[in-house]
Amino acid sequence: MTIACDVLIQGGGGAGCSAALHLAQRGLRVVLLERGLVGGQASGVNYGGVRQQGRHPAELPIARRSRELWGRLKDLVGTDAEFSITGHLKLARNEAEEADLIAYLDVAKQHDLPLRMVGRNAIHREYPWLGPQVVAGSFAPEDGAANPRLLAPALANAARAAGADIREHHEVVAHAHDGARFHLRTAAGEAFTAPALLNMAGFWGGRVAEAFGEPVPIEALSPNMLVTEPVPYFIEPNLGVVGGNLYLRQIPRGNVIMGGGRGESDPSVPWSRPLPEISFRTMGLAVEVIPSLAGVQVIRSWTGIDGRMPDVIPVIGPSRTTPGLFHAFGFSGHGFQLGPAIGAIMAELVVDGRTDIPLEAFRVDRFKAPAA
């Protein structure tokens, strides 16, 4: 028996679940197919940064819109997913990095993103626990962090309540399009059909695109994450550094969460695990920024699998080969904050055929060699 609906979504990360919610709210019959449990990979195991500062200018309109959704997440899905507005402080460790921060102030201004420079003296006065290596920072007061383990399941649950059919443990193994409708088949042999398909399958979104003649140069990315035992709360802002080789935050219950570099993975299983040498490198960078972390115990490390594009921004928008197919994948390690808005944007693309958010930079065919 084939199950027919208005929109099929492949991939139950934060973005896919948000798309299911927004489409269901607009009255469409939605079926979301997720290979494992929702939020099982990049959406569920990431650092939890709800950050706008430092993003690629093309991402900022999405990030601004998503930030607005984060602010009313509790009304939207019944939990705030522990979203707390701590501000995001991006640190410079030398003058070149400081120049980077200053240059970004103009980008932020163009997108109405509140951002202020914290100078050499002020930064050590305001954050006396920072190491001497830090020379400056820029502070985005609207940014913060949330619990990534809660977002996708909460969005999925709200989508279900709105009428969406969220199917976990449904691995899609075959894709087809007959000119009018998509036909998907799962590993268990179930068949699904709809006139619209949203490809929101993270790293595996590359395969879906390829199935419709749109191969993209995507690679697996496994962010290497660590968490410490709880220690007295003293790091209020979510911290990043220019260059991105360290990101670090503390939650009020005391654990310090940090990441940087990549672990190892095998997307065919899928399986992923942090790498010892990368974990120690992250610890080393963390102690340089916050010397008092020396001796604090790391209790767990983990990773998952995201898709990374060569230009480190995702693929978002309509397919160039197949009408009714829309992509949103390859978030390159920073899709968590964007997830809620991506769902809203995808719903607009499907229902209204347009969105106010400029998506040109995210075209699926941007990696194609120009025709000779």
Partner 1 sequence: MKVAVVGAGPAGVRAVERLVAAGLSPVWIDEAPDGGGRIYQRPPPGVNRDARTLYGFEARRATALHTALDALKPRSDWRPETLVWHIRPEARQLHTLHRGRQAGVDYDAAILCTGAMDRVIPVPGWTRPGVTTLGAAQIALKTQGCGIGGRVVFLGTGPLLWLVAYQYAKAGAEVAAVLDTTPFATKARATPGLLRGGATFVKGLYYIAWLRRRGIRIAEGIAPLAIEGDAGGVTGVAWRDASGREHRVACDAAGMGWGLKPEAQLADLARVPFRHDPLQANWVPERDAAGRTPVRGIYLAGDGAGIGGAEVAEIAGARAALALLEDAGHRVDPIETVPLDRKLAAQARFRAALERAFPFPSHLARGIADDTILCRCEGLRTGELRAAARAEAATGPAPEMNRAKAFTRVGMGRCQGRVCGVAAAEVLAAELGCDVTAIGRLRGQPPVKPIPIPAAGDAP
Residues that bind partner 1 (CB under 8 A): 37, 44, 77-79, 131, 149-150, 153-154, 156-157, 160, 228-230, 264, 273-274, 276, 279-281, 283-284, 286-288, 291, 293-302
Residue nearer to partner 1 on the CB measure, 301 or 355: 301
Q: What is the DSSP string of 239-262?
A: EEETTSS-EEEE-TTS-EEEEEEE
Residue nearer to partner 1 on the CB measure, 188 or 294: 294
Residue nearer to partner 1 on the CB measure, 110 or 245: 245
Among 344, 18, 346, 13, residue whose Cα is nearest residue 155: 18
- For residue 321, what is the DSSP state? S
Residue nearer to partner 1 on the CB measure, 302 or 367: 302
- Retrieve residue 323's tokens: 């009408």
Q: How far is the CB of 58 from partner 1 (least distance, A)?
A: 32
- Retrieve residue 250's tokens: 């503390």
Among 257, 205, 246, 283, residue whose Cα is nearest residue 41: 205
Q: How many other CB atoms sit within 10 Å of the CB of residue 213? A: 11
Q: How many CA atoms lie within 13 A of 84 on its CB side?
A: 11
Q: How far is the CB of 227 from partner 1 (least distance, A)?
A: 8
Q: How far is the CB of 157 from partner 1 (least distance, A)?
A: 4
Among 121, 124, 119, residue whose Cα is nearest residue 137: 119
- Retrieve residue 246's tokens: 């360290």
Residue nearer to partner 1 on the CB measure, 226 or 316: 226
Distance CA 104, CA 161 (A): 41
CB–CB of 179/46 below 8 Å? no
Distance CA 149, CA 102 (A): 34
Residue nearer to partner 1 on the CB measure, 128 or 353: 128
- Retrieve residue 134's tokens: 């830090």
Residue nearer to partner 1 on the CB measure, 217 or 252: 252
Q: How far is the CB of 298 from partner 1 (least distance, A)?
A: 5
Q: How far is the CB of 88 from partner 1 (least distance, A)?
A: 22
Whole-angstrom distance between the N-terminal and C-terminal Cα of the chain? 47
Q: Is the dihedral of CA 301, 63, 39, 218 positive or negative?
A: negative
Q: How far is the CB of 314 from partner 1 (least distance, A)?
A: 24
Residue nearer to partner 1 on the CB measure, 277 or 365: 277
Q: How far is the CB of 44 from partner 1 (least distance, A)?
A: 7
- For residue 84, what is the DSSP state? B
Strand partners, 60: none
Q: How far is the CB of 181 from partner 1 (least distance, A)?
A: 30
